[in-house]
Structure 1
């Protein structure tokens, strides 16, 4: 069985998902922009997994990958062996309006996600098996734009097109995408209780998704062989 590769696994949902698979005895590779940080987080996650009752001894490795420099991605991923699960969750936050359009920020974010994600899949394609699966992370801003989401909404809509084309080109490898809104206990939102309370009141379940909710949904899309070309929203009924 190949490893679980998480592009953007040093923090947030990527890190939580890495822990999910390590706790189940799966070998994991996580990436971040900084090699030292990626290696440190990988060691931390592996130590936590070994402290559980799991009989398997998982391995975790960290690599430096900068999605905003797509020409270098293949070389950065050259040492990875067979891949069973590939997760692309890396993103940067961006506020960019048409009235005050920052071209450099827009080009960077567009390159990072739409070109960088494709470049990763291209680099690892030969290491995926017919039973492998790929998960792309987008966001509900594709459906619910807000002032300042000019680039973010456009890119997240693009993730749907990316998912559909990759599902065709990589078949029988499964490709799905996951789209979240605000995650209640994420590092970015946990110290903003008033905003979280307001946002939760605008969902049908009167709450926001938690990191555990998103990890469960991600694992479902990655591991359930009946799910392919699915763009799943995890937003508590926004």
Structure 2
């Protein structure tokens, strides 16, 4: 593969970091941006070939400054998210849901918009949503709205920004730090229960989803697509 430049915003853990590692293994010049210095330092220590940058994806000025320093970016991957927005609608804290939109939808859109002048004409933008956008699982209406909003950007932007390609990857249940707030025993029990219901009979790893992200980002014939990497979660009830 001819050396390309990738920027993964929100790439210090989970799917973002797994994607950075896969792209690095392909010979890509990989840059990872995040807000937390300690996480960036950890990536720099564990993966010295990946270049890290401290920047807030929700701050257009910081993104513009970062992209100005990098020059042209071929593959922009937005793996930004938060941990709020789940719960029965009757009890859902709408302020928490607003924060969830700020942490995922608005921050991805802010980064995307600020990055446009710096993307290669044949480059790509890959968003990360979640399968909750197309499931009917009780307690996930807030997450469905959030991830549906992310996915709604894909098709119109794929036409508007062409020939830049725009896609999203929609994970299902993935063993990432997103679940760290759940007690370990409860998380393991839920994962075991869910694995028995999923058609794939397993909970995904971050690297499973990263493989789909790399495909969406790098394949020149994929655009306007939401690529599902959910183990079949959209086909069953995980309640």
TM-score (norm 2): 0.84
SS at match of 1:112: helix
Task: Provide runs of 4+ in structure 1 moved above 6 Å.
Answer: none
Shift of 1:211: 2.6
RMSD: 2.3
The 5 Å alignment of 1:42-191 reads: 42-46=44-48, 59-69=49-59, 73-75=63-65, 77-94=67-84, 95-183=86-174, 185-187=175-177, 191=184
Cα distance change, pair 113–215 in 1 and its aligned pair in 2 (3 A)? same
Q: Is the 8 A contact 2:68 2:118 kept in 1?
A: no
Q: Is the 8 A contact 1:32 1:38 kept in 2?
A: yes
Q: What stretches of structure 1 of length at least 5 have no aligned partner?
A: 47-58
SS at match of 1:172: coil
Distance in 2 (CA, whole Å) between partners of 1:80 and 1:36 is 22
SS at match of 2:47: helix
Q: What stretches of structure 2 of length at least 5 have no aligned partner?
A: 234-239
SS at match of 1:205: coil
The aligned counterpart of 1:215 is 210
Q: Is the 8 A contact 1:39 1:61 kept in 2?
A: no
Q: Is the 8 A contact 1:85 1:134 kept in 2?
A: yes
TM-score (norm 1): 0.84
Cα distance change, pair 39–165 in 1 and its aligned pair in 2 (3 A)? farther
Shift of 1:70: 5.3
